[in-house]
Amino acid sequence: MKWRKMGLILKPEGQFDWIITHASLPIAIKLREDMYRLYFSGRDKENRAQPGFIEIDVREPVRILRISPEPILELGKTGLFDDSGVQASCIVQFGDRWYLYYNGWMRGVDVPYYTAIGLAISEDEGKTFSRYSPAPIVDRSDVDPYIVGSPYVLAEDDFCRMWYFSATDFRMESGKPKWYTHIKYAESNDGIHWNRQGRVCIDFKSSNEWHIGRPCVIKENGLYKMWYCYYINTYKIGYAESEDGINWQRKDDEVEIDLSSSGWDSEMICYPFVFEHRGQKYMLYNGNEYGRTGVGYAISEEIQ
């Protein structure tokens, strides 16, 4: 599947206090016809992530119709798991209620930060969200003893599936901290309480790889398709397929999207979000410095 890059949609330029820099982990939710709301997480002057959104017509996505003046979910109170950052990762609509799955960030001492998965719920069609609980819904456990985050949830007929990153180790290498993470799997009957068995879906393929994260999954003609980012020298976007959503085959060479020769996504491409509109696949993604340069998009040259 070849992707044609179309350029930037949003460049963070201090539009509001919560978006001084960065526009990370984009999410697309269809509102009506060609209108979409794109959620992302900006950072304030203290480098703390909080999520908000823009609204666009997908036929002309570079023309922003609306931007939220306030975050849709503010930082947690001091001492809670999300007091240092709230980073939206996935939104699922269950009837009139919208479930926002997010990364909660807490600063560390011997390690720079910890993350866990939180849940917030909206009853006003995604304009604002309230925490389901002050505690995370997925945190460290026997099968995930380090950090977890970047969940993607797919609601099926009678249960929900979640793919998320889980750390296998923490190391200081050349004076830089590194969390080694791969992608694991969980299931739930209600989208809130999750059963984890430690099942690894996307694992490291070489000793040079140390981070795999931000999965995005669609089910198409009975086949599960996943896009994610992985780090070997820099962040790139990978791709995998599965018949059951649990056992996956990596096919990174088939994703056919790479760094640009110059510009906003010439150093890294990461945090993909893929959706389909009128038979055309779109990919939202971040470029250099983990989204500091903004959100861009690409269009698949495969027409359904």
Per-residue pLDDT of 104-121, as tens digits, reads 999 999 999 999 999 999
Confidence of residue 272 (pLDDT cuts 50, 70, 90): very high
**CA–CA distance, 272 with 237 (Å, rounded to integer):** 7
The model's pTM: 0.97
Confidence of residue 277 (pLDDT cuts 50, 70, 90): very high
**CA–CA distance, 180 with 170 (Å, rounded to integer):** 6
* Model pLDDT for residues 47-92, shown as the tens digit of each residue: 999 999 999 999 999 999 999 999 999 999 999 999 999 999 999 9
Radius of gyration for the alpha carbons in the chain, expressed in angstroms and rounded: 18
Residue 1's pLDDT is what? 81
**CATH no. of 3-303:** 2.115.10.20
| Residue 157 in this model has a pLDDT that exceeds 80 | yes
Per-residue HEC secondary structure of the chain comes to CCEEEEEEEECCCCCCHHHCEEEEEEEEEEEECCEEEEEEEEECCCCCEEEEEEEEECCCCCCEEEECCCCCCCCCCCCCCCCCEEEEEEEEEECCEEEEEEEEEEECCCCCEEEEEEEEEECCCCCCCEECCCCCCECCCCCCCCCEEEEEEEECCCCEEEEEEEEEEEEEECCEEEEEEEEEEEEECCCCCCEEEEEEEECCCCCCCCEEEEEEEEEECCEEEEEEEEEECEEEEEEEEECCCCCCEECHHHCCCCCCCCCCCCCCCEEEEEEEECCEEEEEEECHHHHCCCEEEEEEEEEC
* Torsion-angle region of 289 (φ positive above 0: left; ψ -120 to 50: alpha; else: beta): left
Domain spans of the chain, in order of start: 3-303
Percent of the chain whose pLDDT exceeds 90: 96
**Residue owning tokens 């694992």:** 203
